[in-house]
Amino acid sequence: MTDPASTPVPVPRVTAQLLASEAKTVGSTNLAKFLDETDRDLADVYRGNNTWTTILRRAELLPSPTTPVPSEAALLKRMHSFLHVDDSERAVAYRQFTADDAPGYDDLDEWEQTLARMLFFNLWDKGGFTSYGEGLASLRTQHAVRDELGQLLTYLMRTPRVRAPQPLTGPHAHIPLSIHHAYNRSEILAAMGVARLGGQLPGFFAQGVLWDSANRTDTLLITLNKSERDFSPTVRYKDYALSRTHFHWESQNSTAPTSTTGQRYQQHAKQGSHILLFLRDSKDTASGKAMPWVLLGPASYERHTGSKPMAITWRLHHPLPHQIWSGTATPSPTA
């Protein structure tokens, strides 16, 4: 006979209605208070199409606008794209640019403008404005969006995962990206200066490699675990860490050692170009959102085997942290 005490209690599915009920019980519009008192995490709040604002409105703790605010719904759906922010400089900047007294884009210095463009494309990855200043200024009427993003960033800043940045140096010192911190595609392309209004927009970029001529940098966006659903057999490259300082990476199938790209990979130090590696475990998170990449930093060519694709061993300038190394190592091929 089964002991009732040993029978597992079913865990209720996390639905918008359940979260709204819990929010009503807490009785506060403060995101941090809700998370603390319910022992929920941000992934629960932002599962599916949920946002903190929509949960509060469902709980009748926040009134719905009598007249729909243009673009509010679309912007609220972008809140999940800030969950990965894990460096204090970016969190402070994003919060500053969306505050009531936010400075105008033209009043920012070059470094701050790059961070502002990272925020801009995180909100509008397919553009929609004639200038960055116009887009950021449009947030002044988006009170619910700015309040939610401010609460989200404030909560993140009090967690251990938000750390002081470890900036890029040398030829990349002007790029506000930090070693071993997480970024999504929009932030990477904006930081590198590749994404721009009137040109390449992040929402239409799907490649895993990028030659950035302005910075003379090959940017490699690596996904370790490539599912059959998301990656065809022809692009299911074998990428893995050989050690904390060496990474095995396969080029695109069209790249031969004698090609322009293949030569640039091999001769980058002599030619004055650079390599930056970004890494993520899989395409999507457990909640179905796009997984961000962690910047591994600059790397140098050591050797390769094969052609179309080239199997290249890169030497990392910054050793992998133990938590990344333990999840990326794969035994070296015997061939």
pLDDT recorded at residue 153: 98
Q: Does residue 145 fall inside a structural domain? A: yes
Question: Do 32 and 94 have their domain in common?
Answer: yes
Last residue of a domain, one of 129, 157, 185: 157
Q: Does residue 185 fall inside a structural domain? A: no
- R_g of the chain computed on alpha carbons: 22
| C-alpha 210 chain-centroid distance | 17
Question: Do 223 and 106 have their domain in common?
Answer: no
Give the long-range contacts of residues 21-29, CB within 8 A, separation 24 or more. Answer: 21/59, 23/55, 23/56, 23/59, 23/61, 24/59, 24/60, 24/61, 27/61, 28/61, 29/56, 29/61, 29/62
Handedness of CA 253, 221, 219, 317 (dihedral sign): negative
Q: Is the pLDDT reported for residue 57 higher than 70?
A: yes
* Each residue's pLDDT tens digit, 186-233: 999 999 999 999 999 999 998 899 999 999 999 999 999 865 555 455
pLDDT band at residue 334, thresholds of 50, 70 and 90?
very low
> Can you name the residues that pair with 295 across neighbouring β-strands?
278
Q: Does residue 279 fall inside a structural domain? A: yes
Q: Does residue 335 fall inside a structural domain? A: no
Question: Do 61 and 151 have their domain in common?
Answer: yes
CB of 51 within 8 A of CB of 77?
Answer: yes
Q: Regarding predicted confidence, which is higher, 8 or 35?
A: 35
Handedness of CA 230, 232, 237, 238 (dihedral sign): positive
Question: Do 142 and 242 have their domain in common?
Answer: no
Question: Do 20 and 144 have their domain in common?
Answer: yes
CA-wise closest residue to 177 among 197, 159, 194: 194
CA-wise closest residue to 214 among 79, 319, 114: 114
Question: Do 242 and 304 have their domain in common?
Answer: yes
pLDDT recorded at residue 227: 59
Question: Do 247 and 313 have their domain in common?
Answer: yes
> Residue 322 sits in a domain of what CATH number?
2.30.280
What interhelical angle do 88-97 and 143-157 show, nearest 10? 160
Question: Do 127 and 240 have their domain in common?
Answer: no
Q: Does residue 134 fall inside a structural domain? A: yes
Q: Is the pLDDT reported for residue 52 higher than 80?
A: yes
* Each residue's pLDDT tens digit, 142-171: 999 999 999 999 999 999 999 999 999 999
C-alpha 144/C-alpha 152 separation (Å) is: 12
For the chain, give the mean pLDDT: 92
pLDDT band at residue 322, thresholds of 50, 70 and 90?
confident
| C-alpha 68 chain-centroid distance | 29
pLDDT band at residue 335, thresholds of 50, 70 and 90?
very low
C-alpha 190/C-alpha 184 separation (Å) is: 10
Among the listed ranges 212-216, 252-256, 331-335, which one has the minimum average pLDDT value? Answer: 331-335
- Highest mean pLDDT among 218-227, 284-293, 301-310, 319-328 belongs to 301-310
Question: Do 233 and 324 have their domain in common?
Answer: yes
Domain hosting 280: range is: 207-328
CB of 328 within 8 A of CB of 248?
Answer: no
Question: Do 20 and 148 have their domain in common?
Answer: yes
Q: Is the pLDDT reported for residue 94 higher than 90?
A: yes
pLDDT band at residue 325, thresholds of 50, 70 and 90?
confident
Question: Do 153 and 29 have their domain in common?
Answer: yes
Number of domains present in the structure of the chain: 2
Last residue of a domain, one of 140, 157, 174: 157
Q: Does residue 191 fall inside a structural domain? A: no
Q: Does residue 168 fall inside a structural domain? A: no
Q: Does residue 310 fall inside a structural domain? A: yes
C-alpha 189/C-alpha 206 separation (Å) is: 11
Last residue of a domain, one of 126, 157, 188: 157
pLDDT band at residue 37, thresholds of 50, 70 and 90?
very high
Question: Do 236 and 122 have their domain in common?
Answer: no
Q: Is the pLDDT reported for residue 73 higher than 60?
A: yes
pLDDT recorded at residue 288: 82
C-alpha 152/C-alpha 164 separation (Å) is: 18
CA-wise closest residue to 125 among 195, 183, 219: 195
